[in-house]
Structure 1
Amino acid sequence: MQLEFLGTGAGSPSKQRNVTSVALRLLEERNAIWLFDVGEATQHQILYTTIRPRKIEKIFITHLHGDHIFGLPGLLSSRSFQGGNEPLTIYGPVGIKKFVLTALQVSESRLSYPLHFVEIQQEGKIFEDQGFTVYAKKLDHKITCYGYRVVEHDHPGELLADKLRAAKVPSGPIYGQLKAGKTVELPDGRVLDGHDFIGQPQPGRVVAILGDTRATKNALWLAKDADALVHESTFGKDEAQLAHNYYHSTSKQAAEIAKKAGVKRLFLTHISARYAGKAAYQLAYQVRNIFPETRVVNDLDVFDIPFKK
């Protein structure tokens, strides 16, 4: 599991930062990519990565401001040209379906794959399968905006092969049955419970990716004990009033959320063009006394999300 930042700027692109898009790379877990927001020129940014558009399985849109969605029609069309034929699902606020379908219709674009929409009508669980659950909660922005909490399910414990060998259990199909948790009778009459030979489950990882927002208690819920929190930082730590007026957050507010929620790492994104060069990094430096594991991300940065030890 990795986070790759395709765009880290706020509002409009600059020479240093494209507008918002984050890729959650789940290639080992499900051979897929999930995107969170698709700002203008996201498909151009992808050209500088190893991401293949046909691997994009799901797209989660936080809100309908242009710097978060204007890249969608182009990306969806290019996915057809580049061999994409697997279904793709877009999650987001009411209106995202109309935006996408209108753009495709007016441009007479034809997709080579099924396109599905899940317009979020209420907060809570919006997706679940055997490997992951995704939750959405409303944030405090000028228009309807969501944050997402991605929860990886726990991995089954490893088969304790040393313990089996010590018990003189013959290798072969029996090992597979025990790993599946079955009760097995051996040729010598012993009855073994597979659960006695399986180690502790490996806890799954949690990633919280928030859209634009003022400080809000829903951010705490989304970020609770997360391994990684992606939080906007449009304003510096001493600009709380400006942030409130424009429905955004300061780096200090993001750090306070990370600390209260007990997250492992905080990634600051949605950086205003006012913070160019070294000035952008000050957004992190000035709040590390609140939350030491804070980092301002750049376009094309990639970060591993390791398992808990």
Structure 2
Amino acid sequence: MQITFLGTSSGVPTRSRNVSSVALRLPQRAEFWLFDCGEGTQHQLLRSELKSSQLARIFVTHMHGDHIFGLMGLLASCGLAGNVQRMDIYGPPDLDEYLKACRRYSQTHFSYPIKVHTVRPGVIYEDSEFTVSCDLLKHRVPAYGYRIAERDRPGHFDVKRAAALGIPSGPLYGKLKRGEVVSLPDGRRVNGADLCGPTEIGRKLAYCTDTVFCDTSIALAQDADVLIHEATFAHQDAELAYQRLHSTSTMAAQVALAAQVKRLIMTHFSPRYAPGNDIELKDLLAEARSIFPNTDMASDFWTYEIPRRQSPELATV
């Protein structure tokens, strides 16, 4: 699981930061998922190492323009390129009607099927590897935060040890790799967990924007490997944050601390903290780190690989 930030500004783009969009690359599937799609996102994709032909799913948090104005253009370009087979899009109730209106008034016809899934709190997508859930945050319009959870996987299977035990290769190996107990032709019973390394704990990512500090963010981020959280304002501007229902750097850090995440990555910064101003983005980073030291500040095109975790305890159960 690899995160690439395509836009990290709030409201409007700047010279160095585009508006909101984050890509989650899944190398094992040769695909990536997109979270939000602000204006210019397709240009950011062209400047990145991501390929639009591998875009499979888009998750939209809410209907503000800096999160959706790039969506129609990206979908249209994918259609003209003819390299997308299908697109699943998840978002608030108004998203489907918005896309229908865009298609109607621009007379755009897609060459591939698009399915818009209206989300509600709970699990919105699930397969053999991942579960995606969402819940309402606290913003001026309905806004959803997302949690992506990877399933645990058995550790590395020791083929040499299995052969030394005289276990015949074939279907039995598949069961042992899954940690199952199997009966051999000679009557022996072998626990697959004994032949596997430590269980690989599924990685967890939470994406929370736009929102003021709320309990929902904490629940979505609980024990996550990475929390991506908006930090539109500095702590000094907390009153503005409450008025506009956005977060400060310290609110993001408090969510990370309460949720016991491994790493916080802040994004969605107000342009008011540009270099040379009284408060700069480096000050927001210092504020957050005073509460939650393992904090990073996202920048456009920065890529972060979520590391795997192993659990020796689970492997011996």
Fold conserved between structures, TM > 0.5: yes
Unaligned runs of 5+ in 1: none
Unaligned runs of 5+ in 2: 311-317
For the pair 1:54 / 2:39, whether they are aligned, the reply is no
Q: Are residues 266 and 193 of structure 1, via their aligned partners in 2, closer, same or farther at CA, if it must alter by over 3 Å?
A: closer
Partner of 2:19: 19
Task: Give the SS at the match of 2:49.
Answer: coil
**Shift, 1:105, TM fit:** 1.8
**Shift, 1:227, TM fit:** 0.6
Distance 2:261 2:176 in 1: 36
Q: Are residues 185 and 104 of structure 1, via their aligned partners in 2, closer, same or farther at CA, if it must alter by over 3 Å?
A: same
Give the TM-score, by structure 2 length: 0.91
Partner of 2:218: 220
**Shift, 1:25, TM fit:** 0.8
Distance 1:177 1:287 in 2: 47
Partner of 2:306: 305
Residue correspondences, number: 306
Amino acid at match of 2:22: V
Amino acid at match of 1:154: D
Partner of 1:35: 34
Match of 1:209 among 202, 207, 211: 207
Task: Give the SS at the match of 2:265.
Answer: strand
Bigger drift between 161-170 and 123-132 goes to: 161-170
Amino acid at match of 2:209: G
Distance 2:209 2:290 in 1: 24
Distance 1:147 1:128 in 2: 16
Distance 1:155 1:264 in 2: 20
Distance 2:54 2:256 in 1: 31
Partner of 1:247: 245
Answer whether contact 2:135 2:220 (CA < 8 A) is retained.
yes
Post-superposition Cα deviations, 1:172-198, rounded to whole Å, max 9, x if no partner, equal 665345335362424x55454545433
Answer whether contact 1:178 1:197 (CA < 8 A) is retained.
yes
Describe how 1:284-299 pairs up with structure 2 within 5 A: 284-299=285-300
Match of 1:158 among 156, 159, 162: 156
**Shift, 1:285, TM fit:** 1.6
Answer whether contact 2:38 2:71 (CA < 8 A) is retained.
yes
Amino acid at match of 2:285: A
Give the TM-score, by structure 1 length: 0.93
Task: Give the SS at the match of 2:48.
Answer: coil
CA RMSD of aligned residues (A): 1.8
Partner of 1:140: 138
